[in-house]
Structure formats: structure tokens, C-alpha cells
């Protein structure tokens, strides 16, 4: 399965900074000059681990805990290479379906393209329960109350400014069926999402830390779960 690196410029800068710093430390022959380069290299390595492996472990666990019906209707916001979509799709049978929506911005994830994700879908053999669409999460092309679950992995923080992120939360809540569940994984603005969902009337809103597999350098992934 083809994977992408989240915000690919970030780990590149960490690793380049670490390499340059190590070279400088070697030239200076001062061991204290190794401290920050080593931190940069560790951050870069941790970032890549989470982006390419760690988040998939988190998503696998979250999907297991979602208690999905095989006929559930699911929306994945900012699907990227389909990490959430593919895990959900393996739990479904027709007429169940998961729709992955994205604007396919390669600045948000390396190699982010609808045709790449479609190949992932076909490779896993879940085309019958999966659909990819191009669209913006601040204006979803769906009717009210149509999805049993709405999920988003490390995507809503890319929406700017704050008013647009609030609109994305409003839209996710709008298309969710009564008693439906919203699951968001993100490294920023999670408190903001929680407050907005509370204002909208969501119940059972809770936030938990994802652990070491969700560490993007110094930023920790948190998992928000809410019920309509």
C-alpha cells in the first residue's frame, strides 16, 4: 500500500538541521554542540515513524473500538492515502460504504492524489464499499443526517482560519445521523473542536492521548470522540 508523509517539509527540515548540526559539532570538537542536532534527528525519526507506521496502529485500534455495523455509512474527512478509509472498509459489506473526501493537497501529505488512493483501494480489494470524492470539508456535498460515523485523521488542523475549522466541525456534525459518532485524530486545536461540539449539543464528548505512536516530534496526537 502506498503511504504518504504528513506535512513532508517538517521532517526534512528536522533531519537536515540535525545533519548540519552534527557536522558543525564534529568540526568544533565540542561535545555540547551535539545536543541540539541529536534532538533534531530524534524528532525527525519520531515524526517519520508516526507518519508512516504509528498512526496506522492508532487508527486500527480506534476502528476496532468503533463497533461498526457491516452496513454502516461512514465519511472520512481529509482521507489522504486512505489510512482511515481502508481500515474502515475492511469492516464493511454492501450496502455499507465509506466515502473518502479530500482536496488532495500534496503540501498536507506527500504524493496525495485521488488516483494513488484509488490504487490502494483496489489493491486491498474494497472497491465495492469505498468511494473517493474531491471536496472541501467546510462545505460538504451531502444531505443532513446521512452517516453513522464521521472520522478525520490529522486533517482538520490544516483548515485555516479558526472560523473555517469551526465550519468544518459544523459540517461534520450536520451530516452525522442522530446517535452517530464523530471520531477526530489531531495534533492541534482539539480543545477547540471539543468546545464547538459541546456548543452544537454533542454528548459523551471525550478526549484521550494516543500515546507514543502518535508523537509528531514534540506534538502529541489526541483522539476526540463525540456522539450526536
* Domain-wise residue ranges, the chain: 9-50, 54-227
pTM of the model: 0.92
205-225 pLDDT per residue, tens: 999 999 999 999 999 999 999
- CA-based nearest residue to 187, from 207, 167, 162: 207
Percentage of the residues of the chain whose pLDDT score is greater than 90: 94
Interaxial angle between packed helices 35-49 and 9-28, expressed in degrees from 0 to 180 and rounded to the nearest 10: 150
Q: Which fold has domain 54-227?
A: Rossmann fold (3.40.50)
- Per-residue pLDDT, averaged over 15-20, amounts to 95
Tell me what pLDDT residue 213 has. Answer: 96
84-141 pLDDT per residue, tens: 999 999 999 999 999 999 999 998 899 999 999 999 999 999 999 999 999 999 999 9
List phi, psi (to 5°) of 185. Answer: -105, 130
Tell me what pLDDT residue 193 has. Answer: 98
- Per-residue pLDDT, averaged over 45-72, amounts to 95
Q: What is the DSSP letter of 52?
A: I
Tell me what pLDDT residue 2 has. Answer: 85
Amino acid at each position: 500500500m502506498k503511504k504518504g508523509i504528513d506535512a513532508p517539509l517538517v521532517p526534512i527540515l528536522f533531519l537536515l538541521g540535525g545533519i548540519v548540526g552534527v557536522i558543525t559539532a564534529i568540526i568544533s570538537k565540542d561535545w555540547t554542540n551535539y545536543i541540539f542536532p541529536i534532538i533534531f534527528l530524534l524528532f525527525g525519526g519520531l515524526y517519520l515513524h508516526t507518519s508512516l507506521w504509528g498512526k496506522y496502529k492508532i487508527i486500527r485500534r480506534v476502528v476496532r473500538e468503533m463497533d461498526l455495523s457491516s452496513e454502516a455509512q461512514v465519511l472520512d474527512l481529509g482521507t489522504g492515502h486512505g489510512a482511515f478509509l481502508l481500515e474502515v472498509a475492511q469492516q464493511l459489506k454492501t450496502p455499507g460504504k465509506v466515502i473518502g473526501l479530500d482536496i488532495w493537497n500534496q503540501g498536507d501529505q506527500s504524493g496525495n492524489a485521488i488516483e494513488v488512493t484509488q490504487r490502494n483501494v483496489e489493491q486491498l480489494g474494497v472497491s465495492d464499499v469505498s468511494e473517493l470524492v474531491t471536496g472541501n470539508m467546510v462545505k460538504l456535498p451531502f444531505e443532513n443526517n446521512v452517516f453513522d460515523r464521521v472520522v478525520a485523521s490529522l486533517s482538520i488542523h490544516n483548515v485555516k482560519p479558526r472560523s473555517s475549522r469551526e465550519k468544518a466541525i459544523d459540517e461534520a456534525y450536520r451530516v452525522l445521523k442522530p446517535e452517530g459518532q464523530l471520531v477526530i485524530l489531531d495534533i492541534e486545536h482539539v480543545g477547540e473542536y471539543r468546545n464547538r461540539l459541546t456548543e452544537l449539543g454533542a454528548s459523551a464528548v471525550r478526549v484521550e492521548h494516543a500515546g507514543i505512536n502518535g508523537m509528531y516530534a514534540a506534538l502529541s496526537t489526541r483522539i476526540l470522540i463525540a456522539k450526536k
